[in-house]
Amino acid sequence: DYQYALDRDSTTLARHVLQQLQSFSPEAQDLSALMNRIALAGKLIARRLTRAGLVEDALGFTGRTNVQGESVKKMDIFANQVFISAFQQSGLVCRLASEEMENPYYIPENCPIGRYTLLYDPIDGSSNVDINLNVGSIFSIRRQEGEDLDHSAKDLLQAGRNQIAAGYILYGPSTLLVYSIGRGVHAFTLDPSLGEFILSAENIRIPDHGPVYSVNEGNFWQWEDSIRDYIRYVHRHEGYTARYSGALVGDIHRILFQGGVFLYPGTVKKPEGKLRLLYESAPLAFLVEQAGGRASTGSQEILDVIPDKLHARTPLIIGSREDVALVESFIQEGD
């Protein structure tokens, strides 16, 4: 009946945050407002992606490379700026750190009252943008500790356990926002007719085991023997299926619902692999742990890793507990 539909459609993201904290404490208000700003960034990015083939300067490269030495796409720059704009005049976030900026960006008008730092990857999997496939944004919220007067941002070099919220936005056939404030994992679907993210799945639990293994097998000959042995094991056993989209957010979203494991291991030349800890691996690890799964470097829980720099990388093995443990058993045997 329509009462049910109305109740459902009224469970917006901002309201859901308040419900989970069951209070009108300052922290609940802050987190609700923070998630609302992130949702706005998601809507602005989704809008541009939806019309990317039609608007000026949406597709292709800028011709520049970022701090990581990767070619920057126009959509990376746009999305990076969207998050900055979304937090202007918020009084919440004094500092934002992202994959696209060497050093954090400070919003002076929000400092020093802004009690939070936002870490984010504005467009994850940006090679998918030009071919109209799924991409994502990843975000992590930390409490700002200390004043960071010299703008060194050293206080950000902390374990992922200290995140107070994390999540991603998946730009696919629909736009989804999946988040956790440490009380389970919940998914919201953007209803374009309302312009709101509406609750679509609550308390998501990842299966303990699943069929999917998600890894770039093109790197096979650059891996250590242990990872190759794991892949050979998968090839020789029934019940596995490969899925790899080139965008981590989409691959992990599938695994969150269907079970399995995503891997981006180190290679002989790059033992740390590709993915960055603070704004890619740690937020996803926070979510997957909250859903009952695990995330590991192969020898350590991702959430325990303390990075030595803002853009530090780690190998990532993430997903269903049993599948992560199986990969680890190969790595530990190889040591």
Nearest to 115 by CA among 147, 163, 81: 147
Nearest to 273 by CA among 317, 230, 319, 239: 317
Q: Which is nearer to Mg ion, 124 or 328 (CB)?
A: 124
Among 30, 121, 224, 251, binds Mg ion (CB under 5 A): 121
Handedness of CA 208, 213, 216, 220 (dihedral sign): positive
Name which of Mg ion, ligand AHM, none residue 247 binds, using a CB cut-off of 5 to 8 Å depending on partner kind: ligand AHM
Among 124, 148, 251, 323, binds Mg ion (CB under 5 A): 124
Q: Which stretch binds Mg ion (CB under 5 A): 15-23, 52-60, 124-132, 199-207?
A: 124-132
- String of b and e for 105-131 (b: at least 16 CB within 10 Å)? bbbeebeeebbbbbbbbbbbbbebbbe
Greatest CA separation found in the chain?
Answer: 60
Instruction: Tell me: is residue 45 an annotated ligand-binding position.
Output: no
The answer to whether 126 contacts ligand AHM (rule: CB under 6 A) is yes
The answer to whether 251 contacts Mg ion (rule: CB under 5 A) is no
Q: Which stretch binds ligand AHM (CB under 6 A): 120-128, 140-148, 203-211, 299-307?
A: 120-128
Strand order in the sheet with 241-242: 241-242, 212-214, 260-264, 316-319, 294-296
Name which of Mg ion, ligand AHM, none residue 132 binds, using a CB cut-off of 5 to 8 Å depending on partner kind: none
The footprint of ligand AHM on residues 227-246 (CB under 6 A) is 246
Instruction: Tell me: is residue 216 an annotated ligand-binding position.
Output: yes
178 contacts: CB under 8 Å, gap ≥ 6:
167, 168, 169, 170, 185, 186, 187, 188, 204, 253, 256, 287
The answer to whether 288 contacts ligand AHM (rule: CB under 6 A) is no
Residues engaged in binding ligand AHM (CB under 6 A):
70, 99, 121, 124-126, 216, 246-248, 274
Residues engaged in binding Mg ion (CB under 5 A):
121, 124
Annotated binding site for substrate: 124-127, 216, 244, 274
